[in-house]
Amino acid sequence: MHSSILRQLIALPALLAGLAGLYACGSAASQSEAPAAARPAAPASAVYVLATGQSVGVAPGTTLRLDRVNDSRCRQGAACVWAGYISYSLTLSGAAGDSSFVLAEDMPGGVKTQSQNGVNVTLKGVEPAAPAALRAPPPDYRVSLQVDLAAPAH
């Protein structure tokens, strides 16, 4: 009877360790095989605010950078023969390489939306919205951009 209790005391921890190992393997396998719908995806549409020189990740392996703001608008307090315009030079970098483009609202021949490699970028606004005063230094612009990702092909 003493040896029967001893065998049970040895077998019980071994059995529990084996069950714990099976549970851990099953749990890890179910997590790694989670369906794509359960994994967080990049947002299909988002608005980003960028300053000159800033970049933002818009999709896995894809970044959007505001390279330069060109502001030729008539400054407050100046006498101008034309109103001027403001434009934004951007670069989209990803697996397909770098793609540079310009967005503008009032620039002749300019566009407010550009599509590059499955990414649509739309100009939403700029801060400050009004041109700077005549002798003021150029402002620190903040550009709002809406980014829409094209649906992946199935």
As a whole number of angstroms, the distance between CA 126 and CA 145 comes to 9
As a whole number of angstroms, the distance between CA 143 and CA 153 comes to 31
As a whole number of angstroms, the distance between CA 143 and CA 113 comes to 14
Which residues, at least 6 apart from 56, have a Cβ–Cβ distance to it below 8 Å?
48, 50, 63, 64, 65
Average pLDDT of span 136-142: 89
Q: Is the pLDDT of residue 62 over 80?
A: yes
Would you identify the CATH topology of the domain 45-149? Tick-borne Encephalitis virus Glycoprotein; domain 1 (2.60.98)
* pTM for this model (two decimals): 0.67
DSSP-H helix ranges across the chain: 2-32
pLDDT tens digits, 10-61: 544 554 455 445 455 454 444 444 444 444 555 689 999 999 999 999 989 9
Question: Between the CA of residue 107 and those of 26, 51, 103, 104, what are the distances in Å?
Answer: 60, 20, 9, 6
> What residue segments make up the domains of the chain, in order of their start?
2-38, 45-149
pLDDT of 77 reads: 84
Amino acid at 136: A
What residues are paired with 82 via a beta bridge?
Answer: none
Average pLDDT of span 68-96: 90
